[in-house]
Structure 1
Amino acid sequence: MPSPRETIIAALHARLSALPAIALRGDVLPERIPAAGLLILRDGEPGDPAVTLSPLRYHYQHRAEIEAVVQGTARDTAFDALCASIGAAIAADRTLGGLCDWVQAEAPRPVDLPVEGAASLKAAVIAVILHYSTADPLA
């Protein structure tokens, strides 16, 4: 049985997979970027939990990361549309079906990355904060 942490990250990946961009989890950047863009979900860091003792609960603000990448001549518009679609997907269900207390994304910091012999990439890491509680830090 997967841990609550894995269940939550898998649910976030499933939500991202419903977008037009290709959504990967923990993979390396492929050689070709799809026309609709590419998302790579990184598990990130759970951080130090706040702890309550009665009942014993570990309260996390887990910081996952989404690498958003687009390529092509209209990459500024495509990047903006991709970020907006991520925001809409998260806002549609901020509890991921009741798995999380709250999910929120931070604003991206885009960069242009030159590619030798091809159109440059526009990319950003978008932090997604997952607020959840567990009964065991390893569960």
Structure 2
Amino acid sequence: MMSRREDILAALVATLDTALSARVRRNEVLPEKAPAEGLVILRDGDPGEPDVTFNPRTEFYVHRVELEVYVPRDPSGGGEAALDQLLGAIGAALRVDETLGGLAENLTPSAPETGALAIEGGAPVLTARLVVTVEYLVSDPLIH
């Protein structure tokens, strides 16, 4: 039996992996190059301190999961359109089921922070970082 947190993180990976043509990985190290179809790395993030209610005891988490998005920089200097399309596909995938099959109360993606990254010995990549806030309830943070 997995914890609710692990179920949610696994469901997020599965949701993105199913919907995107880009590769989706969890807690991976930064690769030396971005694959042509793009790469999304989910970082488990921080569940934060829960709001606790009693009788019965329930903990409400507002968990901040990070998504790192990478696309190769076009040799002619472009690539922004590909990054934008991938970000749009991520948004669409997350809107399909904002409760992740009933595991979460809600999930909300942030606006992306974009940039470029030079990789030593490799081609530059365009990057985006966004936070997906997942709200969920548990009776025990280690079990359910």
The one-character-per-residue Cα deviations of 1:53-93 (angstroms, maximum 9, x if unpaired) are 02110000000111101113141011000100100000111
Counterpart CA distance in 2 for 1:116 and 1:60 is: 39
Larger RCO, structure (CA 8 Å, separation 6 or more): 2
Deviation at 1:119, TM superposition (A): 3.5
Counterpart of 2:4? 4
Structure 2 unaligned spans of 5+: none
Q: What is residue 42 of structure 1 aligned with on the other side?
A: 43
Deviation at 1:116, TM superposition (A): 4.6
> For 1:94-113, what aligned pairs fall within 5 Å after superposition?
94-113=98-117
* Conservation of the 8 A alpha-carbon contact between 2:33 and 2:119: no
Q: Secondary structure at the match of 1:84?
A: helix
1:64-79 → structure 2 map (5 Å cutoff): 64-73=65-74, 74-79=78-83
CA distance in 2, matches of 1:42, 1:53: 31
Aligned equivalent of 1:81: 85
Corresponding pairs, count: 139
Match status 1:33 vs 2:69: no
Give 1 or 2: higher strand fraction: 1
The answer for the alignment partner of 1:120 in structure 2 is 124
Aligned-partner SS, 1:110:
strand
CA distance in 2, matches of 1:114, 1:29: 12
RMSD: 1.2
User: Deviation at 1:117?
Assistant: 5.4
Q: Is contact 2:33–2:72 with CA below 8 Å preserved after alignment?
A: no
Task: Give the Cα–Cα distance (whole angstroms) in 1 for the partners of residues 26 and 121 of structure 2.
Answer: 27
Instruction: Give the conservation status (yes or no) of the 8 Å contact 2:105–2:136.
Output: yes
Which letter maps to 2:53?
Answer: T
- Output the CA distance in 1 between the equivalents of 2:122 and 2:107: 36
TM-score by length of 1: 0.95
Normalising by structure 2, report the TM-score: 0.92
| Identity fraction in percent | 45
Cα offset for 1:118?
Answer: 4.5
In structure 1, list runs of 5 or more residues that go unmatched.
Answer: none
